[in-house]
Structure formats: C-alpha cells, structure tokens
Amino acid sequence: MPALYDNSVITEVPGPLSKAACKKLDKFFDSRAVHFVVDYDKSDGTYIVDIDGNRYLDVYSQIASIPVGYNNAALIAAAQSPDMISALVNRPALGNFPSSRWHDILQDGLLKVAPEGLNNVFTAQSGSEANELAYKAAFMLYRRKERDGGDWTSEEVSSCINNAKPGSPELAIMSFANSFHGRGFGSLSTTRSKAVHKLDIPSFNWPQAPFPALKYPLDKYTTENAAEEQRCLKEVERLITSWHCPVAGLVTEPIQSEGGDNHASPAFFQGLRDITKKHGIVMIVDEVQTGFGATGKFWGHAHWNLTSPPDIVTFSKKAQTAGYFFGDRMLVPDKAYRQFNTWIGDPARVIMSKAVINEILDKDLVKQTARVGDALYAELDGLAQKYPDLVMNLRGKGQGTYFAFDTKDAASLVYTMKTLGVNIGTCGSQTVRLRPMLIFDESHIPILISTLDKALASI
C-alpha cells in the first residue's frame, strides 16, 4: 500500500532536465504545453515520475485517459500477446480485410461493456473522430428517412461533389453552451467551451442551447435548479423548431468536462430524450471523458435511468481506443462504404481496450470507484467547509470520483499542487478537476487531501 512519502518533489517544476528536454524537442515538435517530461519506466500505478526524479500522485491521468494505472501488469501482458504483435505489424484495412480474430477481440472486449440496448459498434481513433462519425450517421439517417425508401437522385449525386444542395444538405447538430466534443471541423462546430479551441477556424451554423447552470449545494436549491433545467429544455425545443435548417442530431456530455464540470439532473436528460424522440432527432451521448467507470457507473448516462437508451454513445480516452455504440440498425447507412475509411480504428488499441475492460471487470473497479468517491467526497466537503472562499460549488457527489470545484485562481492552485507532488487539472474558467484513475483507492485519499489542504492554506 502506498504511503505518504510515495510522492516527492525534489526540484522546481518543471525541473532542469524536463526544461532541457523540452527545449531539445521544441526544435521540431511544439512543446509549449508540456508540463514535464516523463520517465514512464519509473511510473507505476497512480504515480507518475518525471525525468528529474519527481514523483507525483497522478490525479489528472493524461487528461482523464489512463484507466488502470501506469505499467499495469494485465496491460503489459496484452501488449506482449501474439494478437498484439500481429495487429501492430499487419495493420489491416478493417472494413475490407479484417483478421480472423477481429470478431472475438470485439466480442470479448468492447461488446462486453456496450451500453444497454446498444449492441453495435463502429471503431475509430479519437473522440473527435468518434463524434464526427456519429454526426455523419445522424445525417445519413435523417435523409434516408426523408427519402422513405427512394434511391439517390442524380441531382443529389452530382450536387454533393460541388458541396451544394440537395446532395450536401443544410442539416445541423445541436450542442450545448460550454460543451467540448473535439477539434475536427464538424466536432469543433459543436464545441463551445473556449476560444483557444475555435478561433480562426471556419464552422457550421449550428444551434447552441443553454446548459443548466445549477446552484450548489444542490439540496439547497432544488426548486431553482429544476426551474433552470426546464428553462433550458424549453430553449432546446424552441431552437429545434425554429432553426433555419433541420436539426438531425443532438449531442451532450453527461458531465460537461472541459467546459467546467457542469452537471445536470437525470430529469434534464430524460427531458432531452423525450424532446429528441418527439422530433425524430438522433440523441448522441458523448462519453469520451465520462465513460469507462469514472462516474461510479460504467457509463455516465447509466445514472439517468432513461425510459429508452440514447441512440448513439461515443467513447475514447479511458477506453484507450475510440468509436461509437448504437442500437438501431437504421443507423448503418443504406449502402456500404458510406461510413468507412482505410483503417476504421486500430486493432492494436482495441486489444488494449479489451485488456482494460477485463481488468476493470475482474477487479470490480467501477464499484470501487463509487465507494472511494463517497469517501473522497466527505473529505473534499470538509475542505469546502474549511476554505469556503477557495473551494466553491463542489460537485460530483454520487458520481464516483468525478469531482470538481471552483476556486479563485485555478491555474495557480494546480501549479502549487504539482510542486507538492500531486498532479491535478483545470477546466472551464475557474475550475479545478480531479480525474483519478479507477485504481485510485482509499489509501490515496489522505495524500490528495493533505496536499490540497496545504496548498489551500498557502494561498
């Protein structure tokens, strides 16, 4: 079991070796965003070690993407397996020439954790790509329904090459204020969090709905928050019915993560399900950051108890691969090669995902995350009482270890934490977010809390 001294910082952060390595790297690879350069051989479990020998408790986890710890033994075994060697060396065009093993890799991996009701999968390489593939599926379904069994017209076929109507129709994906869905031209058009993501990049004229701004603590503002959610739902429906072009899909995160860890209630999401059903809109749940157990359930949307499942759920990050799940086979386009590309994901990463999934299931890590989250919340709430001006709007109760709070100077607090040996992250404009791995357990809580206490006291 890790002890308190398992994290230790012996240089400034970043240290001199990290700085020198960055400078060298920057000659051909932009390294302005590097926090520190990592010695992954020395990193293990929830601890990350930089090349200056500093050892941090990692509660940021590669932007929320490491699921079961550095140098995890089960993952090492998967990395050394014959399946993996073959997938790396003989990279297939999965849509044309899949391996004889591909079926079982999916069945014994991703399909084991498919969200209820969504038993089909399309694999991809990033969350951004997964979302764009989902949007394309929504657009093709929308037009397919409009055609009502009719074939493509010659006018559609010729006009789409010119990016013109009717072949390239005006159709929209609705997203929410403060959302983050990726940085491709389509996904970025649905991202609404920060100018640094969007500035100077042409985008589609798609609608942006307000996301509920809940007040904390939730039990104190029940009425106000319910009214706020109703206001947003009404605006969602108003935008759908008044937008200049049809809205084919709606995309939402279960918890808006990059945009500041903004939560809404199950009732709000049930409302979205009702509205999307009513208007024939594909409901896409972007679980790139929330999926794979961090909220104390395998999928964030499992907290909602929806009357019918979302149409599409996208994943990436902790999955260590990416893609989307869906149920309705109408979401498979009418002809082959419409949803297609050369690689269609990477079987090497899907094999890693299988190992992650089996590690999560074998060790019951989702249940552990729910349990540890409850214990951690109590401690964080204690700090919120102790530092009411520095730990504000603590959120994530009952959502595993998916915690965040607002503070005065988030970047500065996160930096101080690093100098004290704990790696955490920011999001939104004034929010600190915790993104522990699923192996974060009760033994790590005192390290995190005592360090946070020290950092807050120093402000």
Residue numbers annotated as active site: 180, 286, 317, 342
Tell me how far apart the alpha carbons of residues 443 and 372 are, in angstroms, rounded to a whole number: 10
Number of Cβ within a 10 Å radius of residue 76: 11
In the structure encoding, which two tokens stand for residue 130, read together?
């997964």
Q: Which of residues 318-347 bind a copy of itself (CB under 8 A)?
A: 320, 332, 335-343, 346
Cβ partners under 8 Å of residue 393, min gap 6: 216, 405, 406
In the structure encoding, which two tokens stand for residue 211, read together?
């996301």
Comparison of 2 and 246: residue with beta carbon closer to a copy of itself: 246
Amino acid in position 363: K
Residue from 3, 149, 150, 163 binding a copy of itself (CB under 8 A): 163
Point out which span in 84-92, 228-236, 363-371, 430-438 binds a copy of itself (CB under 8 A): 84-92
Residue from 15, 115, 127, 260 binding a copy of itself (CB under 8 A): 127
Report, in Å, the least distance between residue 213 CB and a copy of itself. Answer: 16
Comparison of 335 and 454: residue with beta carbon closer to a copy of itself: 335
Q: Decide if residue 24 touches a copy of itself (CB under 8 A).
A: yes
Across 254-272, b (16+ Cβ under 10 Å) vs e yields bbbbbbbbbbbbeebbbbb
Q: Decide if residue 126 touches a copy of itself (CB under 8 A).
A: yes
Kindly report whether the peptide bond that precedes residue 14 is cis, defined as omega within 30 degrees of 0: yes
Phi, psi of 196 (to 5 degrees): -60, -25
Comparison of 189 and 225: residue with beta carbon closer to a copy of itself: 189
Q: Which of residues 298-317 bind a copy of itself (CB under 8 A)?
A: 316-317
Angle among Cα 41, 45, 46 to the nearest 5 degrees reads: 110
Tell me how far apart the alpha carbons of residues 197 and 180 are, in angstroms, rounded to a whole number: 9
Report, in Å, the least distance between residue 96 CB and a copy of itself. Answer: 5
Q: Decide if residue 63 touches a copy of itself (CB under 8 A).
A: yes
Q: Which of residues 369-428 bind a copy of itself (CB under 8 A)?
A: none
Report, in Å, the least distance between residue 44 CB and a copy of itself. Answer: 10
Residue 359 in contact with residue 72, Cβ under 8 Å? yes
Tell me how far apart the alpha carbons of residues 70 and 165 are, in angstroms, rounded to a whole number: 50
Q: Decide if residue 132 touches a copy of itself (CB under 8 A).
A: yes
Site string for a copy of itself, 87-106 (x = CB under 8 A): -xxxxxx-xxxxxx-xx--x
Q: Decide if residue 48 touches a copy of itself (CB under 8 A).
A: yes
Residue from 202, 305, 307, 388 binding a copy of itself (CB under 8 A): 202
Amino acid in position 358: N
Q: Decide if residue 192 touches a copy of itself (CB under 8 A).
A: yes
Q: Decide if residue 34 touches a copy of itself (CB under 8 A).
A: yes
Report, in Å, the least distance between residue 59 CB and a copy of itself. Answer: 13
Point out which residues pair with 56 in neighbouring strands: 48
In the structure encoding, which two tokens stand for residue 172, read together?
């929209």
